Amino acid sequence: MTDNEADLIRRAQADDANAFCSLAERYARRIYLLAFHYCRNAQDAEDLSQEVWLKAYQALAGFRSDSSFYTWLRRITINAFLNHQRAGTFRQQGQTTVVELVDADSEAVFDSRAASPETVYNKVLFESVMNALEELTPSQRLMFLLRHYDGMSYDEIAAAMNCSTGTVKKGVSRAISKLRAKLDTDNDEPERLTRLAEC
């Protein structure tokens, strides 16, 4: 934890909302991406990630610097994800993907007429992986994301999700197998779309 971050935390604990927003700006992308891959919907990802920040703000008085700020924040994130999973409050998948959000936000990001083959390939790959993630159960998805994207150890995930290390290992392994099977099935799709883009 840097001095600057420690200072921001102290100020946020003293009810300085601006200091807290500065902290949020540092980690917002990581939390947002975790949320996005977890719920596979841009609007849900924004709601969920902002809910994490609200909870963090309310609980900040209890942060004692025993761990890093991000470790503490990640625990809140996982709890928020699991609560949403239990409540089943996510939208139907596919209502708004991040690509659509990006398209709406900045016109130049994805223009089908001016898109390079690589951009088309990325978009198709994105859809393939998102479909593959949909095949996983919420728990498997969360275990995989924490292990692969966030670099948490099996023991850390097990402690955060309140389950055994063996369960986490099995969950991650199954998630990878499912992803692999799904991506193998969709293997021809990128080539087909790349050809279309070249035309």
Partner 1 sequence: MHNCKTTRERLTELLLDGADPRMVLAPELRACAECREEFDALNETLRAATRLIETATPPESYWPGYHERLKQRLHAAQQPRVEPGQYVHSRSWLTRFFVSSIRVPVPVGLAIIMIVGLAFALSIRVPAEPSIVHVPVEVPVIQERTVERIVYREKRSRKARPRQVSTRHDSTLASLEGFKPAEEVKLTVIKGGSGNEK
User: Per rule CB under 8 A, is residue 172 in the interface with partner 1?
Assistant: yes
CB nearer to partner 1: give 78 or 141. Answer: 141
CB of 163 to partner 1, least distance (A): 18
Contact region for partner 1 (CB under 8 A) — 66-74, 87-95, 142-150, 159-167?
Answer: 142-150
Chosen residue from 19, 102, 115, 163 binding partner 1 by CB under 8 A = 102
CB nearer to partner 1: give 74 or 147. Answer: 147
User: Per rule CB under 8 A, is residue 57 in the interface with partner 1?
Assistant: yes
Sign of CA dihedral 99, 105, 109, 115: positive
CB atoms within 10 A of CB 69: 21
**CA distance linking residue 154 with residue 167, whole number of Å:** 9
Chosen residue from 73, 123, 158, 168 binding partner 1 by CB under 8 A = 123
User: Per rule CB under 8 A, is residue 29 in the interface with partner 1?
Assistant: yes
Contact region for partner 1 (CB under 8 A) — 71-79, 80-88, 98-106, 159-167?
Answer: 98-106
Chosen residue from 85, 148, 159, 163 binding partner 1 by CB under 8 A = 148
**CA distance linking residue 77 with residue 55, whole number of Å:** 9
CB of 134 to partner 1, least distance (A): 13
CB nearer to partner 1: give 125 or 197. Answer: 125
**CA distance linking residue 26 with residue 35, whole number of Å:** 16
Binding site for partner 1 (CB under 8 A): 15, 17, 20-21, 24-25, 28-29, 32-33, 36-37, 42, 46, 50, 53-54, 57-58, 61-62, 98-99, 101-102, 105-106, 109, 122-123, 125-126, 128-130, 147-149, 151, 172-173, 176, 179-180, 183-184
